[in-house]
Amino acid sequence: MKKVLLGMSGGVDSSVSALLLKQAGYEVYGVTMKLWEEGGCCNLSATMDAVKVCKQLGIQHYTLNYEKLFYEKVVNNFIDCYSNCLTPNPCIECNKYLKFGAMYEKAKELGIDFIATGHYAKTEYSDIYGRQILKKSKNIKKDQSYVLYNMPKDMIGKILFPLGDFEDKEQVREIARANKLATASKHDSEDICFIPDGNYKKFLEKNSALKQKEGNIVTSNGEILGKHKGLYYFTIGQRKGLGISYKEPLFVIGFNKKQNEVIVGTKNEIYKKEILVKDINLLLIDDIKQSMTVNVKTRYSAKEAEATIEKIDKNTIKVVFSKPQPRVTPGQSAVFYVDDIVLGGGKIFS
């Protein structure tokens, strides 16, 4: 019997994943990672919910403390990004270092064959590419392949996503209700796990050197329109909460860190034709030897856009969109797709 270590956050997705894996004949071990002391998706309450489900299903549960690693790799990155006028995606860092890093190492230590999570995505072997591939979930609205692009490619064949073939989240909830799982009615969490109240500005001021510092809000030609309290209050593409009035809607289009300025512009100015991406991780191929046409997603909630990608040095890819794209934000990731397969991706830095 194949063994699998399943990451369990105490939510309905990971709970149903545990049930489905057991029904598929795996010997399932649940693990909840303790990542943050206060609130969040992996707090004491979440752990207790995961334990309840494991008891219901008759599977063993582990709780592992990774608070130090989480702070080091995820929280510090979050702080560093905002300190440098970037907009981070902490889920991507957590997946890389915790779920597909520490959790995978624990599985190997325990002699367990596979790891699994409740993400909406798919892995399978492709005869065309001659390797294991990462694909989109059938549930396109819930698809989470975007936040999984930076897993090591040699791990893809060792990762299971039991929810990948469900086309609707309600189907998952119905399975939970039909099997009377303790988490069947639990709401989805959409907050940053270490900022459960959603107030990231307060979190930064409490946990970093970032403090309110007044500066100017200016247009791209230098016209001063108002004042701001700190650059970390803003992100590229932001329209609401600027505290200024103008003859037409304005959006954040950039920052001048040296002058402590937030730069705003009109709708036309939020579009970009080209971007540069670094910290590349390729899954579908080993290298980009010539330009390729792919679909690119520049943030989790963005629609894919056709683009040409070209490697310009060892760790940098230039992306040229067929049509200029709005709100492309440094610090976020650009993920490349060939049809429904994840080719790879990297961090947007320009």
Residue 38: pLDDT over 80: no
CA distances from residue 255 to 59, 215, 325 in whole angstroms, order as listed: 51, 11, 19
Q: What is the pLDDT of residue 104?
A: 96
- Give 3-state DSSP helix, strand, coil % of the chain, rounded to 5: 30, 30, 40
Task: Give per-residue pLDDT as tens, 194-252.
Answer: 998 889 999 999 999 999 999 999 999 999 999 999 999 999 999 999 999 899 999 99
CA distances from 69 to 2, 257, 290 (A): 29, 29, 38
Q: What percent of the chain has pLDDT over 90?
A: 89
CB count within 10 Å of CB 198 equals 11
**Mean of per-residue pLDDT scores for the chain:** 94
Q: How confident is the model at residue 43, as a pLDDT?
A: 66
pLDDT at site 187: 81
Q: Is 81 an active-site residue?
A: no
Could you tell me how many residues make up the chain? 350
> By mean pLDDT, which of 9-23, 32-46, 83-97, 261-275 is the weakest?
32-46
Give me the pLDDT at residue 39, please.
54
Q: For the segment 85-124, what is each residue's pLDDT rounded down to a tens digit?
A: 999 999 999 999 999 999 999 999 999 999 999 999 999 9
**120-154 burial by CB neighbour count: b if 16+ within 10 A, else e?**
bbbbeeeeeeebbbbbbbbbeebbbbbbbbbbebe
Q: Catalytic one among 42, 85, 91, 94?
A: 94
The model carries a pTM of 0.94
Residue 151: pLDDT over 60: yes
Q: Specify the amino acid at residue 295.
A: N
Q: Active-site residue among 42, 85, 91, 193?
A: 193
Q: Is 91 tagged catalytic?
A: no
Give the model's pLDDT for residue 197.
86
Quick one: pLDDT at residue 40? Answer: 54
For the stretch 270-312, pLDDT in tens is 999 999 999 999 999 999 999 999 999 999 999 999 999 999 9
Residue among 350, 333, 330, 347 nearest 231 (CA): 330
Look up residue 194 and give its two tokens: 């270490």
First to last CA, the chain: 49
pLDDT at 42: 58
Distance, in Å, from the CA atom of 158 to the CA atom of 5, rounded to the nearest integer, reads 10
Q: Which domains does the chain have, with CATH numbers?
A: 3-178 (3.40.50.620), 212-265 (2.30.30.280), 272-348 (2.40.30.10)
Per residue in 127-146, pLDDT tens?
999 999 999 999 888 999 99
Structure confidence by residue, pLDDT tens digits, 309-318: 999 998 999 9
Q: What is the 3-state secondary structure (H, E, C) of 86-155?
A: CCCCHHHHHHHHHHHHHHHHHHHHCCCCEEECCCCEEEEEECCCCEEEEEECCCCCCCCHHHHCCCCHHH
Predicted pLDDT at 23: 97
Q: How far apart are CA 34 and CA 297, in angstroms?
A: 31
Asked whether 57 and 152 are in contact (CB, 8 A), the reply is no
pLDDT at 190: 67
Long-range CB pairs of 125-130 (<8 Å, 24+ gap) are 125/157, 126/341, 129/284, 129/285, 129/341
